[in-house]
Amino acid sequence: MKVSIVQKPPIYLDLEKSMVRAVEIVQESAAMGCDMVVFPEVWLPGYPTFVWRLPPGAGMGKTDALYALSQANSVDLGKNGLRPLQEAAQDCAVVVVIGYQEIDGSVSGSTLFNSCAIIDADGRLVNNHRKLMPTNPERMVWGFGDGAGLNVVDTAVGRVGALICWENYMPLARYALYAQNIDIYVAPTWDSGDTWFATMQHISREGGCWVIGCATALEASDIPENIPFRDELFPNEDEWINAGDAVVYKPFGGIMAGPMHQEKGLLTAEIDVAAARASRRKFDASGHYARPDVFSLTVKRKKQRPVLFE
């Protein structure tokens, strides 16, 4: 099985144009013989990196304007917001994993979530996971997720699951995926560098699975001129806002491909999916090493809804 990991930036905070680019990337990857395409965290419509650059309180006026633009370019599943990608996945017969910003129109139509969708090769949306805990200033943008999407699902390329960015530092969340016989563990992120690589390496060994880590490779020059406060937030045109650092680790450790550092394009790798389960002969965190007589984990999968006035 061949996987394509995306290190091309979206059209920042422009959902329509970014969706067109995403479909083109899926088509390009399929033409290269890839069976699976993985996009980074909040690739649609672009990670709100401005929350790390504006101070709370004093910067709220600017944050509000950028939040409004980001909100207006979010994906509503209730309105088939991922349909173009689902159709591309079906047409190209590839599995697509994509991080995106979700707006839930079925509740308030205002709250945003950091979500990750898994689309099977027949175009079906087989899982949608919302980030459980937004990190630090991200809480000014996103609501909290729940356990409803904490699933590993069967796809045309094997059993796939995903945790987003620093969720991968949450041992119980990781274990919830390990316990579902995971083959390919996807970690869409905004993180990069040696510490992140160490985490990906650890997960590949702990979980006995293929691990794919990827962040958006983004330069200041990629930010469109019409983005509010652009010159203040990104004054250095030569700045690498995020190095990308796409990487693939083998089951039980060792780099298979990457890291792809400060480079835009597609990182590809050939994956033997069966090697994941075979690697767990030595150490199976949720199997023969689990000690269920000592430890247990309960996952509340019910989707949490706010109480609404009637």
State yes or no: is 250 an active-site residue.
Answer: no
In eight-state DSSP terms, residue 194 is H
As a whole number of angstroms, the distance between CA 231 and CA 298 comes to 48
As a whole number of angstroms, the distance between CA 157 and CA 165 comes to 23
The torsion angles phi and psi of 43, rounded to 5 degrees, stand at: -65, -35
State yes or no: is 2 an active-site residue.
Answer: no
With beta carbons less than 8 A apart as the criterion, state whether 282 and 252 touch: yes
With beta carbons less than 8 A apart as the criterion, state whether 274 and 196 touch: no
Given the residues 131, 206, 209, 250, select the one marked as catalytic.
131
Q: Which helix (H) or strand (E) holds 270?
A: strand 265-270
Say which amino acid occupies 114.
Answer: N
Given the residues 8, 34, 41, 102, select the one marked as catalytic.
41
As a whole number of angstroms, the distance between CA 61 and CA 113 comes to 21
Q: Within 10 A of 188 (CB to CB), how many other CB atoms are there?
A: 30
3-state secondary structure of 6: strand
Given the residues 34, 92, 116, 165, select the one marked as catalytic.
165
In eight-state DSSP terms, residue 244 is E
State yes or no: is 131 an active-site residue.
Answer: yes
Q: Is the peptide bond before 259 cis (omega within 30 degrees of 0)?
A: yes
Q: What is the DSSP string of 12-31?
A: TT-HHHHHHHHHHHHHHHHH
As a whole number of angstroms, the distance between CA 132 and CA 199 comes to 18
By DSSP bridging, strand 153-155 and strand 36-38 are unpaired
As a whole number of angstroms, the distance between CA 174 and CA 163 comes to 8
Known catalytic residues are: 41, 131, 165
